[in-house]
Amino acid sequence: MLTKIAGGDIIDPVNGRLGKGDLWIRDDKIVAAPAGGAAERTIDAAGCIVMAGAIDIHSHIGGGNVNTARLLLPEQHAAHQARPATTPLSNAGWSTFQTGCLYAKMGFTTVVEPAMSPGAALHTHLELADIPIIDKATLAILGNDDFLLSMIRDDASSQMIEDYVAWTIASTRALGVKVINAGAAAAFKENVRTFSLDDVVPSYGVSSRKIVKTLQAAVDSLGVPHPLHVHCNNLGSPGSADTAAATIAAAEGLPLHLAHLQFYGYGTEGKRKFSSAAARLAELVNATPEVTIDIGQVMFGQTVTVSSDVMRQFSARGSAQPKKSVIHDGDGNGGGIVPYSYGKDFYGAMQWAIGLELFLLVDDPWRVFFTTDHPNGAPFTAYPALFELLMSREARAEMIAGLPKSAMALSTLAAIDREYTFEEIAVMTRAAPAKLLGLTDRGHLGAGATADIAVYRRDGNIAKMLGQAAYVFKDGDLVVQDGEITHYRWGKALRLNPSPDKAMVRRLEDYHQQRYGLSLDWFNFPDSAIAREQPFGEVACRT
């Protein structure tokens, strides 16, 4: 089918299209304007902004921790619309099915689950396959497992480590690698309760820094497009800005991505010894071009924190709201689920301000990414309100007026006049994520791109405008009209498929047989185990 989106204000920074024009779709691709011939379908986009579908690089939407959170908090489940009988998993509120619908209504068409434990890969992909409309991807967790730590301890060759990383990515159908509080989960098993970048994992004699640097080099050498995705040490602690600063310095010229930097933006000034260090971190990010960040913005209200940082979640369980939590430990990755409500008290206000400071003080929208670390800082359904805060200093001032003056005095937020433009929003939520993930087929509106398109009707209420898209196309299908789902379809899971050396695989097989009595078939599940048409789409890397 040939579709014309007519007369919209096109915002496509990649291809330099910033103004009124038409956009053409043939079947599932964007095409150049045809020479003659009428469109079979015309969408009137007059008075609308037209952008590529949005991409979320860090949102916990599937896997063991998310599913455990559903079980822990049945009182948070809301009654949602009935769904097609062919979908196999939970229809409880905050379900896999509803996740895809809610993202699509906002114009998001690709979302990355950033913390997949390799042992839970099949479970994770089963949940992702149940999320309709959007495409999905995962990052596989490494950095606390015995096999990797033993190799680093024993001075294994860089080639051997690269082969192990390649095998992990390929066997788990991942798009990249994440390290979470490197070494801390292993140290936690030996009763260690705090762990910093230069601390050493007992029994292995390797530091957290060494683990991060080893994985960073392996990911870069393999040609994985997305840099190593780092959840730093000391998340949420006063003074954690020192840890973030040290990690930024450790990039040393190689690409490195720091996740949810807001949770490391904490200084120790003031009588409560808790203050904003966002300006300091933003200055370091601006001066370190190889580093990219996402924010993990806090928004006020009830949420639940889910993380494979078992050390952090164990220490946070006493602040659970409501008073219940789950902490679990595993060979390579433990974790925990701790519900939490961000209030407009001193601490909640500081966290809210710190995230916005980072958004507004990092100069380059190509290196700062739009996240709430869903659901840790806030559910992704808070995105429209967050867009408004970034695009309107008046909206920020109105919120600041209702927050404790003692908190705002320790933040620079009130003095920041910057307002994001629609072009910057398009970079931060479309073009830059596609580039960071190596997804050349999306994030822009050029000919040949996948027809993932979001159309927004201009409105003075930014939250309303960006929260209810006028039209959303996914692979050329019209899936949203006037903020409502019009058509259900199933997206793909995007993956890399590097080829590890066969000798490494044999060594890994022997290791699993001897240590666990398990074969590698535990990891190497067939694609047919995911009951969807076209469950995976391959993305290029050098190997």
| Helix, strand, or coil (residue 366) | coil
Predicted pLDDT at 88 = 39
Kindly tell me if the per-residue pLDDT of 217 is higher than 90: yes
Which domains are present in the chain? 51-494 (3.20.20.140)
pTM: 0.96
Decide if 126 contacts 163 (C-beta within 8 A).
Answer: no
Place of tokens 């930097």: 261
A 10 A CB-CB count for 226 gives 28
Kindly tell me if the per-residue pLDDT of 92 is higher than 50: no
Kindly tell me if the per-residue pLDDT of 86 is higher than 60: no
| CA 529 to each of CA 45, 125, 129, 245: distance values in angstroms, whole numbers, following the listed order | 41, 9, 10, 43
Higher pLDDT, 98 or 151: 151
How far does the chain reach from its first CA to its final CA, in angstroms? 37
Which residues, other chains included, contact 348 with Cβ-Cβ below 8 Å and sequence gap of 6+? Answer: 298, 300, 342
| Whole-angstrom distance, CA of residue 500 vs CA of residue 160 | 9
Decide if 416 contacts 361 (C-beta within 8 A).
Answer: yes
Q: How confident is the model at residue 312 (pLDDT cuts 50, 70, 90)?
A: very high
Mean pLDDT of 373-398: 97
H-state helical runs in 62-120: 64-72, 96-105
Predicted pLDDT at 94 = 61
In this structure, what DSSP letter does residue 520 have?
G
Decide if 383 contacts 106 (C-beta within 8 A).
Answer: yes
| Whole-angstrom distance, CA of residue 32 vs CA of residue 148 | 48
Which residues, other chains included, contact 124 with Cβ-Cβ below 8 Å and sequence gap of 6+? Answer: 62, 63, 64, 113, 116, 117, 138
Predicted pLDDT at 93 = 46
What the block records as the tokens of 147 is: 């096999």
In degrees and rounded to multiples of 5, residue 508 shows phi and psi of -70, -40
pLDDT in tens, 140-196: 999 999 999 999 999 999 999 999 999 999 999 999 999 999 999 999 999 999 999
Q: How confident is the model at residue 79 (pLDDT cuts 50, 70, 90)?
A: very low
Exposed, middle or buried, 16 (CB in 10 Å: 0-12/13-18/19+)?
exposed
Mean pLDDT of 23-42: 93
Predicted pLDDT at 85 = 52
**228-231 and 176-180 beta bridge pairing:** parallel
Predicted pLDDT at 331 = 64
Q: How confident is the model at residue 532 (pLDDT cuts 50, 70, 90)?
A: confident
| Whole-angstrom distance, CA of residue 532 vs CA of residue 536 | 9
- H-run or E-run covering 505: helix 502-516
